Amino acid sequence: MSCSPPPGLQIVDAMTPPVLVLPGPVTRDEVNGLSDDVRALLRGARARVVVCDVGGLGPPGLAAVDLLARLQLAARRAGGRIRLRDPDPALRALLDLVGLRLEVEGQAEEREPALGVEEAVEPGDPAV
């Protein structure tokens, strides 16, 4: 008796982090529930990263910064971290301003140089 494999790419599915879509403006009462969702996604998927889709989060402000800081704290306590998907440039600037460094999807980590970047050599530069 043979069994056919389940549909989908199992290797890709195992490597794809879970995604939490953050709806429009989030109230203070919803923050605890979203923190619980982050912890559950980390445990359930046995992942180290939860991608937070912040594209529909609404206008950037301190409430959004507070939410993301709390989600990152919840993820850290569960042994993981969050990664932002589709953040508004103003939200990224605000996060930088308050010193909250969050990983952004598609952005090279600070420790690693971006792929395909080469240092240019100017004529007349001394050889090292």
Distance of CA 111 to the CA centre of its chain: 16
DSSP string, 9-39: -HHHHHHSPPEEEPPSSPPHHHHHHHHHHHH
pLDDT per residue as tens, the chain (128 positions): 445 555 544 444 456 889 999 988 888 889 999 999 999 999 988 889 999 999 998 888 999 999 999 999 999 999 999 999 999 999 999 999 999 999 998 765 555 555 565 666 667 766 65
Domains in the chain, CATH or no CATH each: 16-104 (3.30.750.24)
Q: What is the pTM of this model?
A: 0.72
